[in-house]
Amino acid sequence: LPVVVSSLDEGSARRAVDPVNLVFFAIVCLALFTFVQTSVFARGVRLSVGKVLIMASLLAIFMPFLMGRSIFQLILREASDSERLKIDRNLYNTLAGLDSGVRLYNADLFQSFLRSFANTETLAEMKKARELQAVYERDPSARESIDLKKYDHAVMNIAERAFAPFLKGYDATGNNERRANAILIMGPNNFTRYYDRFKREVVGHNADTRNDSMFVMLNLYRKTIEKFFAADEFVDGLAEKGRARSNEMEKVIYEEIKAQLVSSVGVERYYETFSRLEGLNSMRTSIGTTIFAVFPLRINGLIEYFCGIGWDEYAIGESYIKSAFSNIVNNQIAMKRYTSLLDLLDPASLIKATPVLVQAFSGYRAESFSSREADSSNLSVMIRGSSRSRRLLRRVGTGDDQAIYQVLPGRYLSLYTVGGRQDTSHLERIEFWRHVIFMIGLFLFAIFAVFAAVNISRSFTGPLEHLLWGLNTIEAGNYDVKLKDSREDEFGSISRAFNRMVKGLRERNALGSFVSESVRRLARSPELFEKAQQGSEAKFTILFADFEGFREFTANAGEQEVHRKLEFSLEHFFRYAEKFGGEVDKVIGEKLLITFSHEQLGKKNAAIAAIKLAKLILADFKSDKDISPVFGINSGRVISGIIGTPEVRVDNTVIGDPVNVAARMCSLATSTTMPVIISGAIRDCLGSSYRVKPVAVEKIRGKKQEVEVFSLEV
């Protein structure tokens, strides 16, 4: 089809309309039109109401579609540009989130430290260490047997326990000094435990820790915030208030540190930092941002310890970077792109992009980290360049390197420069499949337009064809046809009138099923009907049938069971009578009268047909324990015609002495010994092909002379 195809390369649109395609389109339309006329409407290519309606409907549907096609193409171009902008924005947000996420990481780490300090085992061991130190200071003679380092592992375990939740999902460094720069616990009576990251041991028993910068900062912090609590909030021996002042050297050191800090950050910043109770503070140093906090630890409502922690970006940089990379990868794997049913139709929701590659580089530490095993050389060059210039860099790859690069110097993660690479080769596949879906949509719309046009045409021509079908069905003898008459227009009125006509025909046809074929022949021919009214003599073979045990069965069985038994019996009698050329004349209770015309079958064939019918019925009821059929068969001349008056009722039947004799012989038959009783006339017709034996009877009721009676062996 001559569809305008838009190229999304560089945002330009190319139109490709070939005259050959126009000719092909015209041929396809002509072929489709011919197919609809010949196959759908089953008529030749000629002008008709259906043709005109189809052409008008197609024009009415396609005209607005052709005008709106350009809008859909514009939407496709905008969707492609939107995908590129989304990738660019998401990449920047990933890098910015990686940089700013270190603040949340520090806050989570601080809360983990708080829980680690308040650990029940740690507090119990600190209490034992205090008691042991009190004995050490009170009794000099026992000092040789006391090991003050016995419970130092409790302080070292604080960092291990605090960092444990943050070390999952990646290979963490094995150097403990990188996990926390300092851990300080200060209790009553000068009880001090301080983890020295340089000595890699817990000090404070007798060692001088005043020269450690982190210890001095934490202790200064402790001295500052201690002023904000009342004396009765401390356990005995914890507060320095009321105790002997520190020596002059210590005072000089702290005053000098205070002066240096005030000159560096200002008085306001200094007091803002050192008056933040139980909060996290930060300072920029030559090795990145330093994080520290001192907080009182209350036990039973009283402050029993001052706990201090401190770490810097150098200490936690690697663990944060690896943790952040792990979260980025896991989030990309778990991310579901579609949000609604319509999004499932967009290839952008089904074609997955290559996970973003994130790298971090620290010039200070000369370390580089990557979220995947393989680094990008182009990204590494850009990161190192941005690390020196501290500028945001962005690059769009072309050719074989279809990707977007971004590099962001750390603002909060000051020791690192982070960069990302997002592959964009999947956008070409998305654009391709969007065009495929667009073309499929065009094709489906064309099919829909054709079916819509055909449906509109059918709404006019369909009822006429349906009416013609109904007439043909009635002509074939099927009166169960009914046209749909729900329409409120002229076609609905015609259908309702047709259904009323069919109802009358169906009722007349139903009445015909209650009379025999001979009666129907008389009804179809007025001449035969008039002749039958006068009556005439004819030769027939008469079969009378009865069911032995039927009265007892009806007395004991239910109505439905009796009805089923009668239905089964009559169905077999009517079927066999039609098969052998006989006719069920009438049904009187459980008795049946069946006639075989000598004029149609011949005397001998009529007798044999009656015998065959009786034998088949006996075989069908052989296993029936409730009722057993018996038969009386005779032949002779009878009067055949219509009996009765039109004012009351008329009946086409046979009467005469042979009929009465057949009925009497049926009453002589018994199911156990002689189920089929025949007359001498029937025996003469059978010859030697059937075995019979005479039945001794004195006289048939109603007959003065004797009648030969025989029992047919079955």
Sorted by sequence, the CB contacts under 8 Å of residue 255 that are 6+ apart come out as none
Q: Is 366 exposed, middle or buried (0-12, 13-18, 19+ CB in 10 A)?
A: exposed
Q: Give the mean model confidence (pLDDT) for residues 273-282.
A: 66
Q: Is 461 exposed, middle or buried (0-12, 13-18, 19+ CB in 10 A)?
A: middle
Query: By the 8 A CB rule, do 654 and 543 touch?
Result: no
pLDDT band for position 5 (50/70/90)?
A: very low
- The rounded distance, in Å, linking the Cα atoms of 295 and 224 is 11
- The rounded distance, in Å, linking the Cα atoms of 666 and 425 is 99
SS3 sequence, 178-214?
HCCCEEEEEECCCEEEEEECCCCEEECCCCCCCCCHH
Residue 415 above 80 pLDDT? yes
- The rounded distance, in Å, linking the Cα atoms of 26 and 106 is 71
Query: By the 8 A CB rule, do 103 and 164 touch?
Result: no
pLDDT at 10: 40
The better pLDDT of the pair 534, 101 is held by: 101
Residue 343 above 70 pLDDT? no
The better pLDDT of the pair 424, 463 is held by: 424
Strands 357-362 and 676-679: unpaired
Mean pLDDT of the chain: 77
What sign does the CA torsion over 205, 210, 211, 213 have? positive
Query: By the 8 A CB rule, do 353 and 422 touch?
Result: yes
Q: Among 229-233, 389-393, 535-539, name the most confident range.
A: 389-393
Q: For the structural domain made of 517-712, what CATH number should be given?
A: 3.30.70.1230
Q: For 254-272, how does the pLDDT look when each residue is reduced to its tens digit (9 = 90+)? A: 677 677 667 766 777 666 6
Query: By the 8 A CB rule, do 386 and 393 touch?
Result: yes
Query: By the 8 A CB rule, do 632 and 558 touch?
Result: no
Residue 591 above 80 pLDDT? yes
> By mean pLDDT, which of 152-166, 217-231, 283-297, 336-350 is the weakest?
336-350
Indicate the helix (H) or strand (E) that contains 131: helix 120-138
What sign does the CA torsion over 198, 202, 206, 209 have? positive
Total number of residues shown for the chain: 714
pLDDT band for position 7 (50/70/90)?
A: very low
Q: What angle do CA 391, 392, 396 make, to 5 degrees?
A: 135
Widest distance between CA atoms in the chain: 166
Q: For 524-533, how does the pLDDT look when each residue is reduced to its tens digit (9 = 90+)? A: 666 666 665 6
Sorted by sequence, the CB contacts under 8 Å of residue 570 that are 6+ apart come out as 587, 592
Give the single-character DSSP code of 234: B
- The rounded distance, in Å, linking the Cα atoms of 148 and 607 is 133
Query: By the 8 A CB rule, do 397 and 404 touch?
Result: yes
Sorted by sequence, the CB contacts under 8 Å of residue 215 that are 6+ apart come out as 182, 184, 194, 196, 209
pLDDT at 67: 63
The model carries a pTM of 0.51
pLDDT band for position 141 (50/70/90)?
A: confident
Residues of the chain with CATH 3.30.70.1230: 517-712
Quick one: tokens of 457?
């045409």
pLDDT at 540: 93
The better pLDDT of the pair 540, 280 is held by: 540
Q: For 465-510, how does the pLDDT look when each residue is reduced to its tens digit (9 = 90+)? A: 778 888 888 878 787 788 877 777 777 888 888 888 887 777 666 5
> By mean pLDDT, which of 1-15, 108-122, 331-345, 505-519 is the weakest?
1-15
SS3 sequence, 630-684?
EEEEEEEEEEEEEEEECCCEEEEEEECHHHHHHHHHHHHCECCCECEEEEHHHHH
pLDDT at 618: 92
> By mean pLDDT, which of 228-232, 402-406, 569-573 is the weakest?
228-232
Q: Give the mean model confidence (pLDDT) for residues 315-321.
A: 79
Q: Which of 8, 3, 4 is nearest to 77 (CA)?
A: 8
Measure Cα distances from 338 to 26, 80, 516 in Å. 40, 17, 74
Q: For 177-229, how does the pLDDT look when each residue is reduced to its tens digit (9 = 90+)? A: 445 568 888 888 888 888 876 667 788 765 555 566 667 777 777 777 777 78
Q: For 594-650, how does the pLDDT look when each residue is reduced to its tens digit (9 = 90+)? A: 999 998 899 999 999 999 999 999 999 988 888 899 999 999 998 887 666 655 555
Q: Which residue has the tokens 């792990």?
A: 326
Query: By the 8 A CB rule, do 502 and 470 touch?
Result: yes
pLDDT at 144: 85
pLDDT at 19: 59
SS3 sequence, 395-441?
EECCCCCCEEEEEEECCCCCCCEEEEEEECCHHHHHHHHHHHHHHHH
Q: Give the mean model confidence (pLDDT) for residues 304-313.
A: 84
Q: Give the mean model confidence (pLDDT) for residues 303-322.
A: 82
The better pLDDT of the pair 51, 558 is held by: 558
Q: Give the mean model confidence (pLDDT) for residues 564-592.
A: 87
Strands 302-312 and 357-362: unpaired
pLDDT at 4: 35
Q: Kindly state the percentage of the chain with pLDDT values over 70.
A: 72
Q: Which of 217, 175, 225 is nearest to 194 (CA)?
A: 217
pLDDT at 514: 52
The better pLDDT of the pair 47, 211 is held by: 211
**Helix, strand, or coil (residue 308):** strand
Q: Which of 414, 310, 403, 397 is nearest to 360 (CA)?
A: 414
Q: Kindly state the percentage of the chain with pLDDT values over 90.
A: 11
pLDDT at 249: 58
Quick one: tokens of 168?
């999952």
pLDDT band for position 169 (50/70/90)?
A: low
DSSP string, 550-600: HHHHHHHS-HHHHHHHHHHHHHHHHHHHHHTT-EEEEEETTEEEEEEEHHH
Q: Give the mean model confidence (pLDDT) for residues 76-96.
A: 86
pLDDT at 119: 85
Sorted by sequence, the CB contacts under 8 Å of residue 366 that are 6+ apart come out as none
Q: For 89-102, how does the pLDDT look when each residue is reduced to its tens digit (9 = 90+)? A: 999 999 999 888 88
Q: For 671-712, how does the pLDDT look when each residue is reduced to its tens digit (9 = 90+)? A: 888 999 998 888 888 877 788 888 877 656 655 446 788 888
| Main-chain dihedrals φ then ψ at residue 478, nearest 5 degrees | -100, 110
pLDDT band for position 450 (50/70/90)?
A: confident
| Main-chain dihedrals φ then ψ at residue 504, nearest 5 degrees | -65, -40
